[in-house]
Each structure stands twice: as structure tokens, then as C-alpha cells.
Amino acid sequence: MIDDRCSVCAAHEPSPCLVAWESPRWILRHHPGPAPLCGWFLLCSRRHVASVADLNPVEEREFARILGACMRALRDTRRVPRVYVVMFGEGAPHLHAHLIPRDASCEATRAWAVADFYRAVERRERAPAAPDAVDAIIASMRARLAGELDCLTHA
């Protein structure tokens, strides 16, 4: 079920070039431009639900598996020591997890500082991620996740 008043539901279709992986119930897409960081992805439920607590048992199992696979793929593809997962659901009450690579070479991406980094890009005080780098990470994630999560694409 899609809610046409929901910004997350609306974002599923218009930007297929940002999609790294999708299944009937899930979509992994890169943050749209201006992207705060190369590799800032969003894992979203296709069905309009507010939180993990609202998932059915099949979705709940898939979410854990997909989230882990996406985090590993992003960590390895970006060669970062850690990937943060942030979920609030207040600005858009639709289940979406921000997957944020912790770039050890950029102190501004450490822990909660990444929120300030995000706002600085939004205010145009910092340059956003380069579009060609974003395209490359999306392509890398597509290749990596296709084999690992193929079994869920037709479920």
C-alpha cells in the first residue's frame, strides 16, 4: 500500500537511477542530490508502514537480512570501518533506514557529527558528494547485492 501524501512513498518511483537494489517489498536507493556523502543510502519498505514494529513476520525477517547485507556491501565497497544506521521516522513516518558510511578520513562523519555534516550540505556550506562518485557507488552496490539478495527479488 502506498500513501500518496508520504514523501518516502513518492520517492520510490521517480529516481530509478538512484536505486541500487529492489524487491517487491524493499528498495535500497542512494540519497538524492545534493547527497551529503557518497554512499549515503536509504533502505525503505515499499509498503507504507511507520516502523519496524509494524512489519509482518516475513518483512521483519527480510529486513534484518537485507539490512545486514546492505551494511556489509557498503562497508566493503566504500572501504570504511563502519556503517551507521539511523532511523527516526518523524520527518517522514515511513520505515526508512539511513545507511551512512563512516569515512575515517573525514572527522565530520564521526558519530553524531554526521548530522551537522548533513545540515551543512543542505545549507550549501559544504560541497555535496560528486555525482560521478555517487553513480559509481550505486553501480558497485548493484553488482554486489544482486548475487547476495537475488533470492528475495521474486518473493
Domain that holds residue 16: 7-149
Say whether 86 sits in a helix, a strand or coil. Answer: strand
Is residue 2 one of the residues assigned to a domain?
A: no
Section 116-126 average pLDDT: 89
Report the run of H or E that residue 102 belongs to, with start and end: strand 96-102
- Phi and psi dihedrals of 101, rounded to 5? -70, 135
Please check whether residue 46 is in contact with residue 63, taking contact to mean a CB–CB distance below 8 angstroms: no
Is residue 137 one of the residues assigned to a domain?
A: yes
Is residue 155 one of the residues assigned to a domain?
A: no
Q: In 3D, which of 31, 99, 38 has the Cα closest to residue 66? A: 99
> Which pLDDT does position 124 carry in this prediction?
92
Is residue 87 one of the residues assigned to a domain?
A: yes
Is residue 77 one of the residues assigned to a domain?
A: yes
Is residue 154 one of the residues assigned to a domain?
A: no
User: What is the tens place of the pLDDT at every residue in 44-92?
Assistant: 998 889 899 999 999 999 999 999 999 999 999 999 999 999 988 777 7
Over 50: is that where the pLDDT of 102 sits? yes
Largest CA distance in the chain: 44
Overall number of domains in the chain: 1
Strand 96-102's sheet: what is its strand order? 19-22, 26-30, 41-45, 96-102, 82-86
First and final CA of the chain: distance in angstroms? Answer: 17
User: What is the tens place of the pLDDT at every residue in 12-42?
Assistant: 565 778 999 999 999 999 999 889 999 999 9
| DSSP assignment string, 7-45 | HHHHHTTT-GGGEEEE-SSEEEEEPPSS-SSTT-EEEEE
Q: How many CB atoms lie within 10 A of CB 122?
A: 12
Where residue 15 sits, what CATH number does that domain have? 3.30.428.10
The CA-atom distances, in angstroms, between 101 and each of 9, 11, 81 are: 24, 21, 8
Report the C-alpha gap between 145 and 140 in whole angstroms.
9
